[in-house]
């Protein structure tokens, strides 16, 4: 599986869902709200984008442990790239390498 398929998938999904860092930051806000409401607690900060992305990596690993779908591995690699970028460059948009 080439990195081209990962970059292509990232570009296609970004066109539909928006820039990944912004989207994953919003997911972190939503998950934070759900966790706080469910447990009746206040977290010290919203879940950061890189943690959301790492959680999505584990989600894709769990799916892949059950059944093979190549798409899960493409997504897993994309989420790992997002997480690496978000931790190394907090707040900066992810720009896929061509």
Residue in this structure with the two tokens 């584990």, named with its chain if needed: 58
- Note the pLDDT tens digit of each residue in 6-61: 999 999 999 999 999 999 999 999 999 999 999 999 999 999 999 999 999 999 99
pLDDT of residue 3 exceeding 80, the answer is no
What's the Cα-to-Cα distance from 61 to each of 9, 16, 41, 64, 70, rounded to whole Å?
A: 18, 24, 29, 5, 12
pLDDT of residue 77 exceeding 90, the answer is yes
Closest CA to 49 of 79, 71, 72: 79
Closest CA to 59 of 48, 75, 36, 82: 75
pLDDT of residue 2 exceeding 70, the answer is no
- Residue 8 to residue 88: CA distance in whole angstroms: 22
pLDDT for residue 96:
74
């Amino acid at each position: 599986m080439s990195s081209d398929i990962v970059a292509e998938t990232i570009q296609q999904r970004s066109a539909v869902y928006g820039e990944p860092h912004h989207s994953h930051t919003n997911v972190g806000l939503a998950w934070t709200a759900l966790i706080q409401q469910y447990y009746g607690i206040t977290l010290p900060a919203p879940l950061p984008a890189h943690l959301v992305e790492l959680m999505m990596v584990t989600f894709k690993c769990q799916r892949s442990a059950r059944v093979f779908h190549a798409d899960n591995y493409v997504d897993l690699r994309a989420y790992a790239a997002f997480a690496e970028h978000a931790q190394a460059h907090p707040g900066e948009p992810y720009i896929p390498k061509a």
